[in-house]
Structure 1
């Protein structure tokens, strides 16, 4: 019997293949129900005009009850956007990925939200605690307890990582 997670991901993937992704968002790969990759481009005039970023989604057996682990891909070919809610290791401090997650949200809804977050950015700068966080961050951003302060105040992670 298929798990709730795999049924939901199969449905989302089918919708992506039939309906396509929202404008500026492309599915790069979804070879299994554990890890998917997307690219996002901010459309229109913004600080990120013409820039494309890759996102990695990791799903556990409790998806969609629990949020996916989502982060920007950072490797020799990709960098995370310089943004007050994005750490240089690609981890994202966004309430939609934590306390405000809802099972009604989809992978593409998360992509659109992050696309919008970038489009509305007023200054390219890292979170105030970027260097400390990146030195101590777990591999999985879901293991960090982020503090959410809204759009005008930079976010930061608590010292304590969640197991």
Structure 2
């Protein structure tokens, strides 16, 4: 190994291999509406998402930050919107996303692409631009840099 290359700290070999494979697949066949901003950090991806045509978010661009845990894909990545986050009933103003596949319903069969498509679908199906009803309370409780993975989410809205 040359002195200029640094291994991705904190990722198992399985996680590293999986992420490298997903990255190649993304470059060959990127999901529509998404751009991966290339960095040298395999453990944190920044992904640009553009709202789908004909939706409330058409032509609006947002950024997702995807942080991969040591044991990815056995453990879900942490996915948040960077500021400014879209105005949506399941997206808090601090960028945290209330979406079951990011927490309880995660499966190792899922990929970054499938997560992105789920987020775009969630955005596309929205009929109003509004924050979650408990946004202010939730964001206040997250002030000290709390991860959305530390939240006990309550998934009850199957319409969005």
Please, what TM-score do these two structures have when normalized by structure 1? 0.85
Cα distance between partner residues in 1 of 2:42 and 2:60: 28
Deviation at 1:49, TM superposition (A): 1.1
Gaps spanning 5+ residues in structure 2: where? 1-11
Q: Distance in 2 between matches of 1:65 and 1:30?
A: 24
2:148 is the alignment partner of 1:146: no
CA distance in 2, matches of 1:152, 1:116: 12
Please tell me whether residue 28 in structure 1 is matched to residue 28 in structure 2: no
Structure 1 residues 16, 30: CA separation in 2 closer, same or farther (over 3 Å shift)? farther
How does the TM-score come out when normalised to structure 2? 0.87
Which of 36, 46, 55 is equivalent to 1:46? 55
Residue aligned with 1:40, SS: strand
CA distance in 1, matches of 2:112, 2:56: 24
Partner of 2:16: 6
In structure 1, the gaps of 5 or more residues are 154-163
Query: How far apart are the structure 2 equivalents of 1:53 and 1:120?
Result: 17
RMSD: 1.4
CA distance in 1, matches of 2:72, 2:149: 13
Do 1:3 and 1:61's aligned partners in 2 also have CA atoms closer than 8 Å?
Answer: no
Q: Which has the higher strand share?
A: 1
Check the 8 A contact 1:42/1:116 in 2, yes or no: no
Which protein has the larger Cα radius of gyration, Structure 1 or Structure 2? 2
Q: Corresponding residue for 2:64?
A: 55
Q: Report deviation, 1:30.
A: 4.0
Structure 1 residue 67 corresponds to structure 2 residue 76? yes
